[in-house]
Amino acid sequence: MVVENTKLVRDYVNPSRLPDWDYVINPYTGCTYKCTYCCAEFMQRFSKHQEDWGDFIDAKIATRDINLIKIDGGRIIMSSVTDPYNPYEERYNVTRTILEQLKNANISLHIVTKSNLVLRDLELLKQLKNVSIVFSIATTDENFRKDIEPFAPSFQDRLNAIKILRNEGINTIAYISPIFPELTNYKEIIELTKDYVSEYWLENLNLRGSYRPRILAYINEQHPLYFNLYKEIYRLKTSNYWAEKEKEICEYLKERNIKYRNYFYHEKNRKSYK
Ligand code: SF4
């Protein structure tokens, strides 16, 4: 059962420490998609909740309007530690409230989501000056998707939403993330989406903190063929798998003249544009 609350905050917009962004907006604390690889899980410590990450959601209510002068010209990412279109957005409309306030802002806004609920705000999105919808996709395989993102929309729902947004003139991006060694078929994701997105973002699976044993146990149980490889990459750190995979994927995209942004080895803040 999910514990839901509202919580007062001073501002929806916060300065970002992420390399490509000036500001970050997280309309919620918590995320009920419960992805097994969620690197936002550490946020549980900063909440007042006893519940596990994924079992609570706080809808934010800002006590003041967004200062559009302060963020003028800024690059904003929404979101970094929640999904702005998690199912509770249907009830609380926090993301919608924020978009209403950003209608006349001179900003570049990237909305990262897994949800076709974004289509609810299509008309509003059309009124924003520079907005992109970034769909994160780790797999096209529904069985695997249900294992790693048990409460998130299906790949097909995401693909349908991408197509609709694209047809309506909204910029769309596919964020191939996280790339699971040998389990994420990046070529298939690209083949199925390439006619509907303007670029790709790429990020490999990072295993830090409490979710590392969880993912390794899952691989051991459900994909034992790859367990030794995962052990070499994440436990023994003896594999150069990621260096080779990064090169392979980037070459694949370059050969096809497809634009991408590289977030491999995210913690080192390495990035590049084609
Ligand atoms: S959608 Fe993002 S924030 Fe939500 S659980 Fe999944 S990885 Fe975490």
Q: What is the pLDDT of residues 24-75, one digit of tens each?
A: 999 999 999 999 999 888 888 888 889 999 999 999 999 999 999 999 999 9
Q: Which residues contact 36 (CB under 8 A, 6 or more apart)?
A: 147, 148, 149, 150, 211, 214, 215, 218
Tally of CB atoms within 10 A around 19: 10
**Which tokens in the block code for residue 2?**
């999910």
Atom of ligand 1 nearest to the CA of 41: 8
For ligand 1, the distance from its centroid to the CA atom of residue 120, given in whole angstroms, is: 20
Q: Is the peptide bond before 213 cis (omega within 30 degrees of 0)?
A: no
Domain range 3-206+240-268, CATH architecture? Alpha-Beta Barrel (3.20)
| Helix/strand/coil for 226 | helix
Output the CA angle 161-145-54, nearest 5 degrees.
90
pLDDT of residue 273: 35
Query: How many angstroms does the Cα of residue 82 sit away from the middle of ligand 1?
Result: 6
Index of the ligand 1 atom closest to the CA of residue 31: 4
Q: For 139-187, what is each residue's pLDDT tens digit? A: 999 999 999 999 999 999 999 999 999 999 999 999 999 999 999 999 9
Q: Which residue's C-alpha comes closest to atom 3 of ligand 1? A: 82
What is the per-residue pLDDT for 46? 83
The rounded percent of the chain whose pLDDT value lies above 90 is 86
How far, in Å, is the centroid of ligand 1 from the Cα of 16? 18
Average pLDDT, the chain: 94
Amino acid of residue 4: E
179 SS3 class? strand
Closest ligand 1 atom to Cα of 33: 5
- For 112-127, what is the mean pLDDT? 98
Say whether pLDDT at 9 is over 80.
Answer: yes
Name 32's Cβ contacts closer than 8 Å, sequence gap at least 6: 2, 54, 55, 57, 86, 87, 88, 151
Token pair, residue 231, equals 């052990």
- Chain segment 87-110, per-residue pLDDT in tens: 999 999 999 999 999 998 999 999
Six-digit token string for 101: 């306030």
Tell me if 76 sits within 8 A of 111, measured CB to CB: no
Taking the model in full, what pTM does it have? 0.95
- Cα-Cα-Cα-Cα dihedral of 20, 23, 29, 35, to 10°? -10
Q: Minimal CA–CA distance to 196: which of 158, 224, 234, 233?
A: 158
Amino acid identity, position 138 = A
Per-residue pLDDT, 88: 98
| Tally of CB atoms within 10 A around 129 | 12
Q: What is the position in ligand 1's atom list of the atom closest to the CA of 81?
A: 3
Partners of 132 in the beta sheet? 110, 171
Task: Look at the chain and count its residues.
Answer: 274
Q: What percent of the chain has pLDDT over 70?
A: 97
Is residue 209 scored above 90 in pLDDT?
Answer: no
CA–centroid distance, 146 to ligand 1, in Å, is: 14
200 C-alpha to ligand 1 centroid (Å): 19
Pocket test for ligand 1, best of 2, 34, 35 (most atoms within 8 A of CB): 35
Q: Which residues line ligand 1 (CB under 6 A)?
A: 31, 33-35, 38, 40, 81-83, 114
Q: What is the pLDDT of residue 42?
A: 83
